[in-house]
Amino acid sequence: MHFLLERVGRDKQLAVEFNSISAFVLNLFGPDAEQGLWQRLRGRSADGTAIGKADAAAHAPKLKQILFSVMGACQPGEVLALMGPSGSGKTTLLSVLGGRKPRAVKLEGAPTFNGKPLSKRAKRQVGFVLQDDLLYESLTVYETLYFAAMLRLPSGMTRAQKAARVADVIQSLGLGRCKDTIIGGFERRGVSGGERKRVSVGHELLINPSVILLDEPTSGLDSTTAMNLVASLCQLAEGGRSVITTIHQPSSRLYQRLDKLLLLSEGHTMYYGAATMAADWFHALGFTMPYGVNVADFILDLASGAVTSAKLDEASARAHLICCAELYAQVRPADDGYREGSRLDADIFGSLWTAAHSRKNLAASPCAPQNGAKVPVDPEAAASDAVRRARAQRLTASVSVTGYVSGPPARWGASYAQQFAILFTRSIKVRRFEALSYQEVLQLGIVAILGGLLWWQQGLSDTVFSANSTNGLIFFNLLFMAFRAIFVALFTFPNEQKMMIKERASGMYRLSAFYFARTASDLPMELSLPAGYILITYFMGGLRRDAGAFFANLLGTMLVTLVAQSLGLLIGATVMDAKLAQTVAAVLALTMMLVGGFYLANIPAWIAWLKYLSFVYFGYNLLLKAEYHGRTLFDCSGQNPPHAWAQPSCSAVPPGGLQEKLHLQVNTEEWPWEALALLGFLALFRICIYFALRRNTVLR
């Protein structure tokens, strides 16, 4: 696979170093934590006596350490693999290196890039490929990379130059055959798993990053596809990039392509150095790899504690190997770790064995020689460490001179207006299969025809009896549109949360630009089918044949639909849990329906204030005014005769009298101020949605 991407210039190369990284999470489910939580809730201990703050604090949740002084480095041109069994801390370490540490993780130590902490500018030169391919299923491969390029590439590049970069990435990753195929997902077939992974890698290659971090990129791929992907990563590293990846259960051929290896076991370093020297390292420590066994399988068995020796059981063997690795890092502090030409002197090996053999608990203090013995430091290692640090200082100095760190590159790849336009177009294309799907058309069409048949021409009669039936059609249309909008919008942001966090962490756009573009795309995507629904039911139901009344009904229903959708988006953006959001939405929707004015005209005074919190109340009253404002109806004593105006038994209802005759909560002759109330609901909900998104998608 030939790469057309240019090399990373000397002035943009980044050396990643991490020294003594420790990570902690809050242990909420330990026995002490559960006991302390229960006691704080009850305010009493198990024997019934009252407890104080000090006693409750003694059983407070403790911090659980998940990374233990992990150290290593990746120079430009290298591929560093993080390996270990599940739960060993690979993903946590990778997220720390990429500046995407979860908020629940507390950290000691920090990685450096050319000897400096990770800044926002440097972070834009770091590509991060997640284990789960977060891609929009309805976009094609080309559209996915094109929109990313328009948003992420520097603003100084022209649109043609950005499109050329997209073409280079597609050709480099061998995606030419599927560039016009949608990504696809569970319900809609698209590209293959290997192609999806390459699209995710290409998403990060667009910016020509100096550092590429990948979380298990080969998971779920066959051996040949995984091998091709790793070969691509090696070629990217040869272009002056630092590549760090977690790999789970690699094949022997794939393992041989790796430059350096960091083997983790329950958060501890078990081996760090050249990948090809791992078997020699463990052989020197008394664990010889059986003939014909894959090196990767062997070292993963060691990290899992599944290998014993003649003198040590599984737990002791793992503790021994961890201590040896940690003490070796003290003895030979060079960042390159164990490599060809390294040796374990007899004195060093003896110190390692003595310390490891005496250690019984991995959570105890760091390995150290016992009985006050000193660990001899290898002078050659110290000299090589000094050479390495001098090299890093020269690299940092050269970068400062060229202005990579100190220069002021544009923060965003596109202007605010360009971000809005690009995101608006993308939002339309992302939802093209959903908003206008045949299922939606079929659903609304069937319900519209059914409603039109049930209320067939009920509104043509001018009697109070017929108006009561017409009110049912108006209220049904309002509720159907509102409830549909709420429960469709409910899952929007919970489903897109991970995507927003990923894209915001990459610095693709301002959140406000994304939000306004998403809001603007609602108008054509969410209102086209409801408009068709109203068009069918309005004329089949025989509602008022007046152009002003028709457009007032249509616009009023659209306004209520937007308010309902905003409520659904707000619930989804606030709760971010689908099941809980459904419960909250159902309770709120039913409450608003009950106080909307159709089922109850005289609500008890002590709870009547609820109707002013219901957009259904204002929407229903607005549609009633559109239907009856300035219209004369006839009271025929519960009858519905034809031509009521000519019947002597029918009397005209005076202006303003419909409120009493139809048991309404509003005078239909008043000015339609409810529209302003609905606009206020719409503005309030949309503002709250923005701040809810800002809180739940904060950069981590």
d(CA 305, CA 435): 52
DSSP per-residue codes, 158-210:
-HHHHHHHHHHHHHHTT-GGGTTSB---SSS--S-HHHHHHHHHHHHHTT--S
Report pLDDT for 643.
65
Structure tokens that stand for 13 in this block: 């190369």
Report pLDDT for 411.
63
Element containing residue 117 per DSSP (H, E):
strand 116-117
Residue 20 gets which letter from DSSP? E
Bridge partners, residue 269, by sequence: 264
Task: Give Cα separations from 570 to 356, 459, 487, 589, 688 (angstroms).
Answer: 56, 36, 11, 13, 7
User: Alpha helices, DSSP H only, in 432-546?
Assistant: 432-435, 438-454, 464-489, 492-505, 511-540
Task: Give Cα separations from 148 to 19, 205, 220, 313 (angstroms).
Answer: 34, 11, 25, 52
Report pLDDT for 379.
47
d(CA 559, CA 577): 27
- Written as one letter, the residue type at 175 is L
Residue with tokens 């007046």, as numbered in its chain: 546
Structure tokens that stand for 112 in this block: 């450096």
Report pLDDT for 372.
40
pLDDT profile of the chain (700 residues), mean per 10: 64 84 74 48 52 54 81 88 86 85 81 83 80 81 89 84 88 83 81 82 82 83 78 83 86 86 89 87 82 85 75 74 81 68 58 52 42 44 45 42 40 80 88 72 87 84 79 88 86 77 78 86 77 88 85 90 90 82 88 82 78 88 84 73 68 74 78 90 91 73
User: Alpha helices, DSSP H only, in 248-333?
Assistant: 252-256, 278-284, 295-303, 314-331
The Cβ of residue 221 has, within 10 Å, a number of other Cβ atoms equal to 20
- Written as one letter, the residue type at 624 is L
Task: Give Cα separations from 613 to 164, 591, 672 (angstroms).
Answer: 53, 10, 18
User: Alpha helices, DSSP H only, in 239-313?
Assistant: 252-256, 278-284, 295-303
**Spatial CB neighbours of 630, under 8 Å, sequence gap ≥ 6:** 669
Report pLDDT for 373.
40
The Cβ of residue 332 has, within 10 Å, a number of other Cβ atoms equal to 23
**Spatial CB neighbours of 462, under 8 Å, sequence gap ≥ 6:** 631, 632, 633, 634, 644, 645
**Spatial CB neighbours of 656, under 8 Å, sequence gap ≥ 6:** 667, 668, 669
| pTM, 2 dp | 0.72
Nearest 10 degrees: CA dihedral of 418, 424, 429, 434?
160
Main-chain dihedrals φ then ψ at residue 71, nearest 5 degrees? -135, 155
Report pLDDT for 294.
84
Report pLDDT for 677.
92
